[in-house]
Structure 1
C-alpha cells in the first residue's frame, strides 16, 4: 500500500464531460417524469427550467471554488476551508452517507430490473454480481471508472435523443397513434397545468431530485487532466444539457401523447414507445433504466471512496492509496456497507428504501445551500483577492442568496408535505446528531 496521499489525474475531458452528463441524467427523469407530469402538466417544463437555473448557479459557484484550488480532493474541502472544521465534518459525513444510501437503493433497483428477464433468480444474487463487477472496475484504475461511466452515460443519451427525434418526426409527419394525430398543439390541448395547480409545488421538489448528482464533477476534479480547461467546459455545458435532455425529452413525451394519458405508476418512456407501436418498448426501456441504476451505483462507489479518503485522518487505513493511487481501503469499506442492503431487504419491507432515499435527498439540499455560503465566504477571503479568478460566478453574491432561498423553499416543501415530512424530520435529526458530535470533536 502506497503512502502517497495524492490522487492521480487520469480522467480526460471526454470522461469528465460524460460523468457530469451522466450525473445529471438519472432515474429521476426516466422513472419520475410520469409523476411530475401528472402533478404539474405542461407547466413541468417551466419548473425544470427554473430548477435548472439555480442548479447551474450552484455549479458555477462550485466551478469557481474548484479552480481556486485544484488540489482539493473533494469539494467538501472548500466548506471546511471557508466555513470551519465543524461544517466540513458535518457536510462531509452527510455527503458520504447520502451516497451510501443512494447506492443501496440503486442496488435494489438493479435486482428488480433484472427480474424482468430472469424472474426466478433472487434479487440479492443480481445485487452481489453487479456490486462485485463495479467494485472491481473502481479498484483497477481511475481511467477504467471513467470509461465505464462514459458508456453508461452514452446509453442514456441515445435513449433520450431517440425520444426527441421520434417526437420531431411524428409532428412533421402528423403520425397517427392510439391517442390521435400528433400535433404540437397536443401539448396544451388539455390545459397547461394539472389539477388547477394543487400539486405544482411538489413537482418542484421532484424536479430538484432529478438533478441530484450534478455536483459529481466536483469529486472528479482532483483526478482530472488539465482541470483549468476541462472543468469550465463541463460546467458551462450543463445548461445546454438541461435544455436538450430534460426539456426536450419532456416536450417530446407530451407532444406524442396528451399529458393526461400518463400514469405515475410507469415510466413515460415505456408508455410512449408502447403507444407508437414499438413491441420491444418495455425491454428497451428496462435496459436503459438498468444502465442508469448501474451508472448511479458506479458513481456512488467512486464518490464514497473518495469522500472516506478525504474525511479520514492521515494515519487512518482509509487514507492510504494503493500502487495505482486509488483509495482502495476506503472504496472496499464503502462497498461492504452498500452490500448490507441484502440483509436490510430481508429485515424490512421494500418501501423502506424509498423512505431512506428521501432522507438522503433532503440532506443534499442542505449540502448545496452550504456550498453557496462557502462561496460567499470565499469571495470575501484573501484567496479570492490574490487569485487569478479564472472562472467567476456571474451575478455573485446576489445569485448566491437567490439560490440559497430557492434551496430553502424546496426544503420547506419537503417538510410540509405529508409524504416527506417524517423523512425530512429524520434528516434534521441526523444533522443535530452530527452537530453535537462535532462539538466534542472540535472543542
Structure 2
C-alpha cells in the first residue's frame, strides 16, 4: 500500500493531462508499456530485498555489491529524487485547491501540506504506516469506483440520455493522432508517474516477514498500478475528446465537470488532494530512511544516524524537509513554472535510480556466485531484462534532451553527478 500510495499521485492525477496531449487516446498503451519496464526494476530490487532486507535498500546494495562510489551516488541521488518529487507535490496542490478557491494563493496550500506531512513523519512508524495505508486505500477505492462509474456512462448512459460509446477514441484524429513519436514523448511523463514503486525495497528493513511480504507486494503492485493507470486513462479519453483536455487542473476533475457531473468532479478533487498528501507522505518516509542508511554507511553526517525512542530518524526527516520547503518559497514567486521544472529534474533522478537498480542486481548475482541457486525469489530472464530495461531508460533521457521543457534537467544531470563525486572524494579524504 505504501508503494501504491507514492506511485498513484501527481503523475496520474495531474501529469496525465500532458501525457494525453502528447499521444491522444493511445495514452493507455503508453502507461502499459511504461509499467512493464518498471516491473523489471521492481522485480530486480525485490530479489535483493528478499535476500538482504535492509532499511536503505538499493543504496546499501549498490555499496555492497558494486562499490563505494556506486553506493554513495545511488543513495544521494535517491534522496535528491524524492526531495524533487516532494517539491512537485507541494507545488501542485494549490492547482487542485483552485477548483473550490480560485483566489487562494498556491503557496498557502503548499505550506499547509508541508506542515501536516512533517508532523506525521515525526511520530512513530506505526502511525505513519496506518495513515499511509488508509490514504492509499482511499485512492485505490476512489479510482476503482471512478473507472466503474465511467464505464457505466460509456456503456449504459448513466446520467446521460444515451450511452456515450467509444467514438471519442477515433473521432479526433484517430487512436494514434500523434504517431509513434508522440508516444515516445509521452514516456517521459509516464516515467515520472511510476516513481515510487521501488518503495517496496525501502520498506523491507521495517517489514514483518519480508521473505513473504516483499515477493507478494512486488507481484501484486504492478498489476494493480496498471489497472488503475490504464483503466483510468481508457475511461477519460473515451468519455471526453482527448484534444479538449486542459492543463488548469486534474483531468479527472475537469472531464467529469465538463460532461455534467459537478458532484463527481468535487468528489474526485477530494481524492486528488488525498493522493497528493499520500504521495508526499510516502516520499518523505523513504527520503528519511535513505538518509539514515547513508549515515550508517558513513556516507552522510553522523547526526543523521540518530533515531527517536519510537525508531523514527527525526534528524533525517527534518534535513529532507529543509530542502522540500524551498518549493513553498519558489511557488510563491513562480507558481505556474515550478511544476514542469521540478518534475523534469525528478524524472532524470528517477532514471538514474532505476538504471542503477538494474545494474546493481547484475553485480549482486556475480557477487553471490553459486548461492544464486538458493535464492527464493529470482529475477526472470536474467540478465536479458536488465539490459533491455537499461536501454529503455537511457532512451527516455535522450528523448528529454529534445523536449524544450525538459531539456534543462538533462543538462543539469552531469553537473549533479559531478557534485556527488566531489562530495564522495571529500568523504574519502575525511575518512583518511
Indicate whether the TM-score tops 0.5.
Answer: yes
Q: Where does residue 335 of structure 1 map in the other structure? A: 321
Q: What's the offset of the Cα at 1:176?
A: 7.8
Rate the CA distance shift 1:296–1:384 in 2: closer, same or farther, 3 A: farther
Aligned with 1:55 (options 31, 38, 41): 38
Q: Where does residue 400 of structure 1 map in the other structure? A: 386
Report if aligned partners of 1:202, 1:413 keep a CA contact under 8 Å in 2: yes
Q: Where does residue 166 of structure 1 map in the other structure? A: 149
Q: Which one is further off, 18-27 or 165-174?
A: 165-174
SS in 2 for 1:312: helix
Q: Where does residue 76 of structure 1 map in the other structure? A: 59
- Separation of aligned partners in 2, 1:280 and 1:419: 34
Q: What's the offset of the Cα at 1:323?
A: 1.0
The runs of 5 or more residues in structure 2 that have no matched partner are none
Q: What's the offset of the Cα at 1:54?
A: 0.8
- Separation of aligned partners in 2, 1:344 and 1:276: 35
Rate the CA distance shift 1:208–1:104 in 2: closer, same or farther, 3 A: closer
Rate the CA distance shift 1:239–1:108 in 2: closer, same or farther, 3 A: closer
Report if aligned partners of 1:86, 1:439 keep a CA contact under 8 Å in 2: no
Report if aligned partners of 2:83, 2:287 keep a CA contact under 8 Å in 1: yes
Report if aligned partners of 2:344, 2:406 keep a CA contact under 8 Å in 1: yes
- Separation of aligned partners in 2, 1:59 and 1:261: 35
Report if aligned partners of 2:5, 2:282 keep a CA contact under 8 Å in 1: no
Report if aligned partners of 1:175, 1:182 keep a CA contact under 8 Å in 2: no
The runs of 5 or more residues in structure 1 that have no matched partner are 1-17
- Superposition map of 1:10-409 within 5 A: 18-118=1-101, 122-174=105-157, 181-190=163-172, 191-312=174-295, 316-346=302-332, 350-382=336-368, 385=371, 388-409=374-395
SS in 1 for 2:141: helix
- Separation of aligned partners in 1, 2:227 and 2:45: 23
SS in 2 for 1:381: helix
- Separation of aligned partners in 1, 2:332 and 2:146: 38
Report if aligned partners of 2:7, 2:196 keep a CA contact under 8 Å in 1: yes
SS in 1 for 2:198: helix
Show CA shifts across 1:330-361 (max 9, x none): 11222233224343344556413531331121
- Separation of aligned partners in 2, 1:112 and 1:43: 26
SS in 1 for 2:43: helix
Q: Where does residue 12 of structure 1 map in the other structure? A: none
- Separation of aligned partners in 2, 1:227 and 1:294: 26
Q: What's the offset of the Cα at 1:322?
A: 1.3
Q: Which one is further off, 89-98 or 228-237?
A: 89-98
- Separation of aligned partners in 2, 1:344 and 1:44: 31
Q: Where does residue 14 of structure 1 map in the other structure? A: none
Q: TM-score, normalised by structure 2?
A: 0.90
Show CA shifts across 1:356-406 (max 9, x none): 331121111011001100001111122662673011011110000000011
Q: What's the offset of the Cα at 1:61?
A: 0.3
- Separation of aligned partners in 1, 2:254 and 2:100: 19
Rate the CA distance shift 1:172–1:384 in 2: closer, same or farther, 3 A: farther
Report if aligned partners of 1:86, 1:438 keep a CA contact under 8 Å in 2: yes
- Separation of aligned partners in 2, 1:347 and 1:268: 25
Rate the CA distance shift 1:130–1:143 in 2: closer, same or farther, 3 A: same
Rate the CA distance shift 1:119–1:174 in 2: closer, same or farther, 3 A: closer
- Separation of aligned partners in 2, 1:264 and 1:112: 10
Report if aligned partners of 1:38, 1:194 keep a CA contact under 8 Å in 2: no
Q: What's the offset of the Cα at 1:224?
A: 0.5
Show CA shifts across 1:165-208 (max 9, x none): 12322233255859x74224542344111234452221111111
Q: What's the offset of the Cα at 1:97?
A: 1.7
What is the number of residues matched between the two proteins? 425
Q: What's the offset of the Cα at 1:100?
A: 1.5
Q: What's the offset of the Cα at 1:223?
A: 0.7
Q: Where does residue 3 of structure 1 map in the other structure? A: none
- Separation of aligned partners in 2, 1:384 and 1:245: 40
RMSD: 2.4
Q: TM-score, normalised by structure 1?
A: 0.88
Q: What's the offset of the Cα at 1:430?
A: 0.6
